[in-house]
Chain A
Amino acid sequence: MTKDILVVDNLNMHYETLEGNVMAVNNVTFTVKEGESFGLVGESGCGKSSVASTLLQLQSENAIISSGSIKLDNQELVGMSESDLRKVRWNDISIVFQGAMNAWNPVIKIGEQIREAIREHHPNNTKKENTEKISELFKIVGLDDSIMDRYPHELSGGMKQRAIISLALSCDPKIVIADEPTTALDVVIQDQILNEIKKVQKLLGLSLIYISHDIAVIAEMTDNMAVMYAGSIVEKGPTASIFSNPRHAYTKLLLESTPSVVGEKKKLRALDGEPPSLINGLKGCSFSPRCPDPTDACKKGSLEMKLIEIESAHWADQCCVNCG
């Protein structure tokens, strides 16, 4: 049996703002196994990036983790001291942030910015060793060694992104998070980068959390996945099982509104309405205001949101399973 690399249990996080608390992460529970690619999908604003930053304990200053645990290779990260976290970051868990184009400091050379990370975690390496390491990573992502001596503004978007991937891999982390890594790129390049990440993941047997708002990309990239809505996971399980047998009304709509996933030409159903405001939390099914056919029980909001296992490793929100 493969090992659990990351175990997130009942994580709750909110942002304190002047308008009230933004409940960005509610009772989030999931597990990532060694060598697997795990997808996190949901509309923009549903809390995906919030989950990602919490995993590194890099949430913004106004974020409060009210409860829950994050175990990375059996190490509890919630409540860990800053100096211990510094050792874990990048060495055990690294991230490609959303909008990673801006992840490069404009006045420092690319190579030096990667080297800096390695130096932090392997202080006894020689310069030559570090250069070789970077060169090796560059080869994997298809970059020339000369890029090391370039400044970020001299690189195209795609090249920057490839370099970011090698940056994320530079300390051989146990798990890598990729938060919408292709968003800012044009379509052709997006495809190349996706393939690159997939290739690297397979090649290195990397544990990966892939975050996207595009369920089609998740289908292509991941083994297991979770669907997030309004800060909660509404359905999770093996990617294949969710695609063949979606159980939550939101997942179904998400699939139907995406042309490339479902093979036959079906009439596209648009996903109407806006995601709800997360301020001060929600009662009952968070999707009910937009749900195409809610039952009376849903409307009353009498059923608590809670995931139940409907088939092996495939979980969905109980109220929706019961009514849909």
Chain B
Amino acid sequence: MIVVFFIFLVSSYLLFNAIPGNAFSNLLLNPNLPPDAYEKVLQTYGLDKPLFERVQLYVVNFFKGDFGYSYKYYPQTPIELIAERLPRTLMLFSVVNIISFYTGFFVGKVLAWRRGTKSETWITVTSVFSYTVFYPWFALMMLWFFGYKLGWFPIGKFLYPEKWYDAPFDSDIIFAMMIKFVVVISILQFIAYTVSRGIEALSIRRNIRFTSLVLIFIGSYFYWNTGEALARKPYAADIAYHMILPVLVVTIVAFAGTALLTRTTMMEVLKEDYILTARAKGISQKRIRDRHAARTALLPVVTSFIFTIVTIIDGSVLTEQIFSWPGMGQLLLQSVLNEDIPVAMAAFSFVGVFALLAHLIADISYSYLDPRIRIKSQG
């Protein structure tokens, strides 16, 4: 893992270094550069040193968290810029990932269960379409249709500036708050789920889960209608509103792969002997589907989903550009276009860290899901 990351760092440095005209030294030729900045740039990047030493310096600086300064927004550092953009990207893409995974998995599950019916054929055809469709075209079409034709969703703006003009908070505070809110809710529901697992009677178990869901709803209603959160509510709502279309579009594109794969693996699993045994036990079809078939079919789906996550992250450059979402992807694109090398490199590295983290999380959840692997990794 660390080795992979190291290789990633070095090669990304070399790539940037290979930009025609060498962006690093180009900068030094810029006559508008203040002299103290000139010194700083020279020092941070060791531009007067040979290549090998420069790479070394870069890697060391990376781990120190020192990326130098933005050329364009001097004296802001890349870290500061990223800190501003990262929550937005995180918010958008964690929501997209979760929604697309669940819808994909659910749709695939139902498809496999209903094989041979008309609805199965239609949904499968639709999924194949959205799986293979050319993404930028599709996104623009959606934007045109919902944003321009129907006028349901905003175009070309990340937030309504009128609203935020005299806002007492920074949008990032709201973002952080929304992320926290979502995380807390997930944890609560997870706790309710885990606790109720120990209860033997299925009806009581179901009731507990349902009640906890209702309680969480009531709880969040109160949360958003009291104190600090109440004041922030309209702003949060504005953010949520602006998220709908991008989330919808990316989900439509991303869920299909998961759905189709789930369908295939489910159909395989349904042929297994333990499914027949489960039926012989008198267990209901729905429970067999959800607990026996879907649970096992989940494994390959999770594996492939890791790769989807990575493509979604890569695709963030495109998505954010199309939907005017000022996140990491846009930052990356703009900084490259502006030849703002330190920012570009920092953003690039962060996307790399993201991808690696996604892999790590997927690995961990995979070994949690598959007891056969769990044992191996322990022993």
Q: Given that A103-B273, A119-B200 are known contacts, is A88 also in contact with B282, CB under 8 Å in the complex? A: yes
Give chain A residues whose Cβ lies under 8 Å from the Cβ of B299: 107
B372 x A106 contact (CB < 8 A)? yes
Residues of A93-140 at the interface with B, using a CB-CB cut-off of 8 Å, are 94-95, 97, 99-100, 102-108, 115-117, 119-121, 123-127, 130
Q: Name the B residues within 8 Å of A125 (CB-CB).
A: 200-201
A56:B295 contact, CB within 8 angstroms: no
In the complex, whether A89 has a CB less than 8 A from a CB of chain B is yes
Chain A residues touching B, range: 35 or more
B276 in the interface, Cβ–Cβ < 8 Å? yes
Question: Chain B at the A interface: mostly helix, strand, loop or mixed?
Answer: helix
Least CB distance, A267 to chain B, in whole angstroms: 40
Q: Count the B residues whose beta carbon is within 8 Å of the partner chain — how many?
A: 28
Please measure, in the bound complex, the distance between the C-alpha atom of A103 and the C-alpha atom of B277, giving whole angstroms. Answer: 6
Which one of B280, B283, B291, B372 lies within 8 Å of A94 (CB-CB)?
A: B280
Flag whether B375 is at the interface (Cβ < 8 A): yes
Instruction: Please measure, in the bound complex, the distance between the C-alpha atom of A125 and the C-alpha atom of B356, giving whole angstroms.
Output: 47
* B121 → A minimal CB distance (Å): 18
Min C-beta distance of A163 to chain B, whole Å: 12
In the complex, what residue of chain B is closest to A101 when comparing beta carbons? B273
B292 touches A105 (CB 8 A): yes
Check B203–A106 contact: CB distance below 8 A. Answer: no
Q: Using Cβ atoms and an 8 Å threshold, which residues of chain B touch A106?
A: 274, 296, 371-372
Contact A107 B295 (CB under 8 A): yes
- The closest CB in chain B to the CB of A177 belongs to B280
B275 to chain A, nearest CB (A): 8
CA of A107 to CA of B296, assembled, Å = 7
Q: Is B180 an interface residue (CB 8 A)?
A: no
Q: Which residue of B lies closest to A154 (CB)?
A: B375
- Select A153's contact among B202, B282, B284, B372, beta carbons within 8 Å: B372
The answer to whether B188 has its CB under 8 Å from any CB of chain A is no
Question: In whole angstroms, what is the CA distance A94 to B279 when docked?
Answer: 11
Asked if A87 is at the interface (CB within 8 A of a chain B CB), the reply is yes
Are A105 and B278 in touch, CB under 8 angstroms?
Answer: yes
Contact B295 A123 (CB under 8 A): no
Judge whether B295 and A116 touch: CB under 8 Å.
no
Are A151's CB and B372's CB within 8 A? Answer: yes
Q: When chains A and B are docked, how far (Å) is the Cα of A56 from the Cα of B277?
A: 11
- Tell whether A117 pairs with B273 under 8 Å between CB atoms, given A107-B296, A123-B202: no
A121/B282 in contact, CB under 8 A = yes
Closest A residue, CB atoms, query B116: A61
Q: How far is the CA of A120 from the CA of B370 in the complex (A)?
A: 25
Q: Is the pair A117, B296 in contact by a Cβ cutoff of 8 Å?
A: no
A86 on the B face (CB < 8 A): yes
The answer to whether B370 and A107 have CB atoms under 8 Å apart is yes
**A residues near B170, Cβ cutoff 8 Å:** none
Asked if residues A107 and B371 are in contact (CB atoms below 8 Å), the reply is: yes
- Asked if B272 is an interface residue, CB under 8 A from chain A, the answer is yes
Interface: A69 (CB within 8 A)? no
Q: Are A124 and B273 in contact (CB under 8 A)?
A: no
Q: Which residues of A sit under 8 angstroms from B292, Cβ to Cβ?
A: 105, 108
Alpha-carbon separation in the docked complex, A21 to B162 (Å) = 74
In the complex, residue of chain B having the shortest beta-carbon distance to the beta carbon of A150: B371
Which of A95, A103, A104, A127 meets B200, CB within 8 Å?
A127
**Could you tell me which residues of chain B, from 171 to 204, have a CB within 8 Å of some CB in chain A?**
198-203
B369 in the interface, Cβ–Cβ < 8 Å?
yes
Tell which of A87, A100, A126 touches B282, judged by Cβ atoms closer than 8 Å. A87
Which B residues are CB-close (under 8 A) to A151?
A: 371-372, 375
Inter-chain contacts of A103 with B (CB < 8 A) = 273-274, 276-277
Q: Does the CB pair A117–B283 fall under 8 Å?
A: yes
Assembly CA distance A104 to B273 (angstroms): 8
Cβ-defined contact, A105 with B274, below 8 A: yes
Q: Which of B278, B279, B280, B291 has most A Cβ within 10 Å?
A: B280
Residue-wise, chain A 51-65 has the 8 Å CB interface mask toward B (1 for contact) of 000001010000000
Q: How far is the CA of A58 from the CA of B278 in the complex (A)?
A: 11
A91 within 8 A of B: yes
Bound CA span A119–B291, Å:
14
Set of chain B residues within 8 Å of A116, measured between Cβ atoms: 281, 283
Q: Are the C-beta atoms of A97 and B369 separated by less than 8 Å?
A: no
A residues 124-181 near B (Cβ < 8 Å) are 124-127, 130, 151, 153-154
Q: List the A side residues contacting B291 at CB < 8 Å.
A: 108
A131, closest chain B residue (CB) = B200
Other than A97-B276, A123-B201, give 19 A-B pairs with Cβ distance below 8 A.
Answer: A58-B280, A85-B282, A86-B283, A88-B282, A102-B273, A103-B277, A104-B277, A106-B274, A106-B371, A107-B295, A107-B299, A117-B281, A119-B202, A121-B282, A126-B200, A130-B200, A151-B372, A153-B375, A154-B375
A-B contact pairs, 13 of them (CB 8 A): A85-B282, A86-B282, A90-B282, A94-B281, A97-B280, A100-B273, A103-B273, A103-B274, A117-B282, A123-B202, A124-B201, A126-B200, A151-B372
Give me the 3 closest cross-chain CB pairs, A-B, nearest first.
A102-B273, A89-B282, A103-B277
* Residue positions of B touching A, CB distance < 8 A: 198-203, 272-274, 276-284, 291-292, 295-296, 299, 369-372, 375
